Structure 1
Amino acid sequence: MSDTFNPDTPNIDAPAIDSPTTDPEPAEFEVKMASRVDRLPPYMFGRINSLLYQKRCAGDDVIDLGMGNPSDPPDPVVIQKLTDAASDVGNHGYSKSNGITNLRREVASKYHRKYGVSLDPEGEIIACLGSKEGFSHMCLALMGPGDTAIIPSPYFPVHMYGVILASGNVVALDVADPDKFLSNVAYTCENLTPRPKVLIVNYPHNPSSAVIEADFFVEVVRLAKKYGLMVIHDFAYADVAFDGYVPPSFLSAPGAKDVGVEFTTMSKGYNMAGWRVGFCAGNADMVRGLGTIKGYYDYGMFQAIQIAAIVALRETEATVLQQSQVYQGRRDVLVSGLRRLGWNVNPPKAGMFVWAEVPEPWKSQMSTMDFAMKLLEEGNVAVSPGSGFGAAGEGYLRMSLVENEHRLRQAVRQIGKCLSPGRKGADSVASSAS
């Protein structure tokens, strides 16, 4: 019988093992992205942004009508309040992720004053780090693998890719005709299995500037209740409208709070884009879901910014109306200038963009992306090609109204010169079309 094993006794019969003198050749390290990232296409505006950067580095004066980045400052009283609040040491700690109480109360006050909508600041309003952040996190709260959202087409990129990043699927429906859009929503719900879970609407629409009247949202609520759709309305351009048009709030439709929420922002009418102040309001369960996601992701916005936002909402309504008049003047300059060049352009009733059809013979001879690159390369004018907003945008350009009227007139002159007969490229396209 063998002796009992003693772990402290060395095994003298075991062969010696030499330590390796070299590590094995390592395999090439690979970073594997999540499938949600792999589903994202290449950034559509990458070529334009790269050339825009190169030209500006070379000293070219490029007029940028591509990004809707407000160039005007907020009301001075808002900036002063931010300065005062930032000087208060009590405002530099973590803030509540759903927004301070007085800010949410001020949002409720605006909804009641402007739209006749009653909201509970505690359960039906949440502050976001801009409406884009709120929208994206709402998609995470509502959607998962196998879920489908109906979105407007052409689409603002986050409406498509916020859903995709939440692992959802997308059905894109044309927004040009509001009645047809609603009819297509009903058809999709009747014929798609499983039915769509979320309906995303966006009026005034970005990029096409399409608008609707209040009865549109009455039908949206009816369809949502019939088919079990949760509704998200992106109301980013609530405060920028022209010619007496007042964009209606989704929440003003009877029963809207039963089925959905609305996102608003202070980026546009208040000229506070870099401040990142947005709001989600409406259905308490959906607001709570967004709050749950945000509780894991952030500690809310800087409290001094929230205090300044309260002053903006409370005291600068006249400034917001004046800003709309500024955008209306810019719209008139750009639309009339393009029409003089022979472009087919309809003046928008709201928003910060002109949605312009590419003129012939260019539309038939080159893609919208190539046409936009031509305007940038030869005319020093940057625009957003419609194809960047999905296939329905092909043949159109989105031109922002952030430059002043003088710069917009200059942009029209440079576009006209770029496309005039006799220029290299212009003659060849014209001759091939004839």
Structure 2
Amino acid sequence: MNKRKRVGDGLVSKLPNVGTTIFTVMSKLATETGAINLSQGFPGFDCSPKLISLVDHYMRKGFNQYAPMTGVAALREALAQKTVDQYAVTYDPDTEVTVTSGATEAIFAAITAVVRPGDEVLVFEPAYDSYVPAIELNGGIPVFVTLTPPDYAIDWQIVSEKITNKTRLILVNTPHNPTGHVWTIDDLDQLAAIVHDRDIWIVSDEVYEHILFDGRIHHSLMTHPVLQERTFIIGSFGKTFHITGWKIGYCLAPKELSIEFRKIHQYLTFSTVTPIQYALADYLKEPAHYRQLPDFYQRKRDLFLAGLRGSRFTIKPTEGSFFQTVSYAAITDEPDHDLAVRLTKEIGVASIPVSVFYHQKNDYKILRFCFAKDDAILEEAAGRLSKL
């Protein structure tokens, strides 16, 4: 009797090396063990009641049908005005601002717009885990520039040596996830010197643009004229306003790039939830809602670090984002993945092993913790970690 072939037996995976993300794995383990979850990068507190009230207002007024593919005009105009106010850079809200269903969708659309089979894409690693799959799904070839602790600074000579006539795109992330490294003006100048006479595009993931510490300034790639003309700037309301579950992002790009970006976006999600867009347009009218973020998060960073002061971890305060990395090299030789699992089970604090952000799983004995949590949670987590 012939064995019946199962549906899907002949399916060849487009992403054979991709499994369940580490964020899902560690969050699931934290739930199963009752551990404090400092692994996945989402705020442990609610957004502004005013923002919720605005969403309710627009839902009740009947703004519940499809939004325009590019985003509602009011939000695109508010984003354009915010960009002028914050960076003194002008984008046309009609042709150069696009609202997306989260920053990850925007990153995928931007990569898809410019990468073709055989194109090389420079990736600074450790890297956010959506970058490489998006490159590979478009037939691109990731080329890695490896950054190392404790500073994770970029060696621009190495970057220059990685550039070939096949290089089509460079992926930038500042402030950086997972390391918290923040680019300087010199970094922008160095990148501009490399790309100014080449047909190379840039996707700049700037979702943590408002979360910087110790007086640092976010140097958006849009502020450099050589870079601005060839860059897709990716932003996230989720990170800025503590609404990661709403999945609202955006892309700012010159008209020619936005035309190609929108061709992809319209067939990914077409449009993004309507009443939330109107609510955010109103909420953006008060700049204090995002300008207070550095102080808000620095207090949490400092509270978490103060709790770790007596621990055996080696710590360099993060420069930006809501992530803090710590070195445990002086404590144990365990692989970082094993230690992350053990700490979740034994002391009840979940983290992310930074090796997962490297394509060859480079293990520098570093763990990443998210400190976008309530103060009491941070104090309890730091107390438990200090006993290690």
Q: TM-score range by the shorter chain?
A: over 0.9
Distance 1:342 1:353 in 2: 19
Distance 1:26 1:78 in 2: 58
In the alignment, which residue of structure 1 is the partner of 2:4? 27
User: Which of residues 98, 103, 116 in structure 1 aligns to 2:88?
Assistant: 116
Alpha-carbon displacement from aligned partner over 1:366-385 (angstroms, at most 9, x marks no partner)? 10001101110100100011
Aligned-partner SS, 1:73: coil
Shift of 1:273: 1.3
**Higher alpha-carbon deviation: 286-295 or 29-38:** 29-38
Distance 1:219 1:352, change over 3 A: same
Aligned residue pairs total 383
Q: Indicate conservation of the 8 Å contact 1:203/1:212, yes or no.
A: yes
Shift of 1:51: 2.5
Higher-Rg structure is: 1
Distance 1:47 1:124, change over 3 A: closer
In the alignment, which residue of structure 1 is the partner of 2:386? 416
Q: Indicate conservation of the 8 Å contact 1:143/1:163, yes or no.
A: yes
Q: Indicate conservation of the 8 Å contact 1:92/1:303, yes or no.
A: yes
Alignment-mate amino acid for residue 30 of structure 2: L
Alignment of 1:55-94 (within 5 A): 55=33, 60=34, 62-89=35-62, 91-94=63-66
Alignment-mate amino acid for residue 260 of structure 1: T
In the alignment, which residue of structure 2 is the partner of 1:397? 367
Does residue 267 of structure 2 align to residue 296 of structure 1? yes
Distance 2:315 2:197 in 1: 38
Aligned-partner SS, 2:68: coil
TM-score, normalising length: structure 1: 0.83
In the alignment, which residue of structure 2 is the partner of 1:237? 208
User: Which of residues 75, 78, 83 in structure 2 aligns to 1:103?
Assistant: 75
Distance 1:245 1:409 in 2: 25
Distance 1:372 1:248 in 2: 33
Distance 2:12 2:93 in 1: 37
Relative CO higher for 1 or 2, CA cutoff 8 Å, sep ≥ 6? 2
Distance 2:81 2:193 in 1: 27
Alignment of 1:218-237 (within 5 A): 218-237=189-208
Shift of 1:258: 2.1
Alignment of 1:308-327 (within 5 A): 308-315=279-286, 317-327=287-297
Alignment-mate amino acid for residue 342 of structure 1: R
Aligned-partner SS, 1:227: coil
Alignment of 1:364-383 (within 5 A): 364=333, 366-383=334-351
Alpha-carbon displacement from aligned partner over 1:316-359 (angstroms, at most 9, x marks no partner)? x2232334322111111222322311211111121100011124
Distance 2:90 2:362 in 1: 37
Shift of 1:229: 1.2
Shift of 1:167: 2.5
Q: Indicate conservation of the 8 Å contact 2:203/2:233, yes or no.
A: yes
Distance 1:71 1:46, change over 3 A: closer
Q: Indicate conservation of the 8 Å contact 2:207/2:235, yes or no.
A: yes
Shift of 1:71: 2.3
Shift of 1:281: 0.6
Distance 1:412 1:75 in 2: 27
Q: Indicate conservation of the 8 Å contact 1:355/1:399, yes or no.
A: yes
Q: Indicate conservation of the 8 Å contact 1:143/1:166, yes or no.
A: yes
Distance 1:46 1:67, change over 3 A: closer
Shift of 1:268: 1.7
Aligned-partner SS, 2:383: helix
User: Which of residues 15, 18, 22 in structure 2 aligns to 1:37?
Assistant: 15
Aligned-partner SS, 2:238: coil
Alignment-mate amino acid for residue 319 of structure 1: H
Distance 1:97 1:382 in 2: 39
User: Which of residues 243, 252, 259 in structure 1 aligns to 2:230?
Assistant: 259
Shift of 1:184: 1.8
Distance 1:178 1:344, change over 3 A: closer
Distance 1:93 1:226 in 2: 45
Alpha-carbon displacement from aligned partner over 1:252-304 (angstroms, at most 9, x marks no partner)? 00222322121011112211212211111123222211200122232311211
In the alignment, which residue of structure 2 is the partner of 1:185? 159
Does residue 157 of structure 2 align to residue 167 of structure 1? no
In the alignment, which residue of structure 2 is the partner of 1:214? 185
User: Which of residues 329, 332, 338 in structure 1 aligns to 2:302?
Assistant: 332
Distance 2:214 2:32 in 1: 39
Alpha-carbon displacement from aligned partner over 1:120-154 (angstroms, at most 9, x marks no partner)? 11221111111111101222222232111101111
Shift of 1:175: 3.9
User: Which of residues 44, 54, 75 in structure 1 aligns to 2:32?
Assistant: 54
Distance 1:41 1:54 in 2: 20
Alignment-mate amino acid for residue 18 of structure 2: L
Q: Indicate conservation of the 8 Å contact 2:45/2:374, yes or no.
A: no
Alpha-carbon displacement from aligned partner over 1:225-253 (angstroms, at most 9, x marks no partner)? 23321011000100111222121111000
Does residue 354 of structure 2 align to residue 386 of structure 1? yes
Q: Indicate conservation of the 8 Å contact 1:129/1:301, yes or no.
A: yes
Distance 2:324 2:296 in 1: 14
Alignment-mate amino acid for residue 43 of structure 1: T
Distance 1:46 1:405, change over 3 A: closer
